[in-house]
Amino acid sequence: MKVILKKDVDKVGKAMEVISVADGFARNYLIPSELAVVATAGNIGTLDAARKTEARREEKKLKEARQLAKKIEKVPCTITAAVAEEEKLFGSVTAADIADFLKKEGFEIERSAIDLPEPIKQLGVYTVTVTLYKDESAKLKVWVVKDESK
């Protein structure tokens, strides 16, 4: 029996896929659990419309992510930190610190989107990758400078 999956089903398929499964599996599990519908001509037409809508939505999100990436790359990110001997920091600069800086600049970026393999523990200039959407990311230059106020 051919069915259209409404949700991802482990070891069966992903949402919006037309798949062939055993009649009993479809009638006894997939359809009653609302994980799939029978692949009729009308349902396939609805699926095509949903795919087009999803493609437009994905394209819009990607376009917005590219614009945001351009804006983020223009932001000068300077973080001041207390310094011990030999230009080593007391503590470290983490992804959360960078996310807080970006928030002050008007960007709502989750700290999990900031790719910082390990915390920054020395003064200097670092390039940090900020993942915005799927494969779209921005390169943010982070300057870690000595806190002169102390």
Half-sphere exposure of 80 (CA within 13 A, CB side): 5
Q: Do 13 and 19 contact (CB within 8 A), yes or no?
A: yes
Residues of the chain with CATH 3.40.5.10: 2-63
Name the superfamily (CATH) of residues 66-146: Ribosomal protein L9, C-terminal domain (3.10.430.100)
| Structure token digits, residue 53 | 């809508």
According to CATH, the topology of domain 2-63 is Ribosomal Protein L9; domain 1 (3.40.5)
| Structure token digits, residue 66 | 């590219």
| Structure token digits, residue 44 | 């396939």
Half-sphere exposure of 13 (CA within 13 A, CB side): 16
| Residue 22: φ, ψ to 5° | -65, 145
User: With 0-12 CB in 10 A as exposed, 13-18 as middle and 19+ as buried, what is 30?
Assistant: buried
Of 1-10, 33-42, 53-62, 90-99, least confident by mean pLDDT is 90-99
CA distance 38 to 26: 8
Residues of the chain with CATH 3.10.430.100: 66-146
In the chain, the percentage of residues whose pLDDT exceeds 90 is: 81
User: What's the pLDDT tens digit per position in 83-142?
Assistant: 887 778 888 899 999 999 999 999 999 999 999 989 999 999 999 999 999 889 999 999
Contacts of residue 35, defined as CB under 8 A and 6 or more positions apart, other chains included, come to 5, 6, 7, 9, 29
Q: Do 53 and 36 contact (CB within 8 A), yes or no?
A: no
pTM: predicted TM-score of the whole model, two decimal places: 0.72
SS3 call for 86: helix
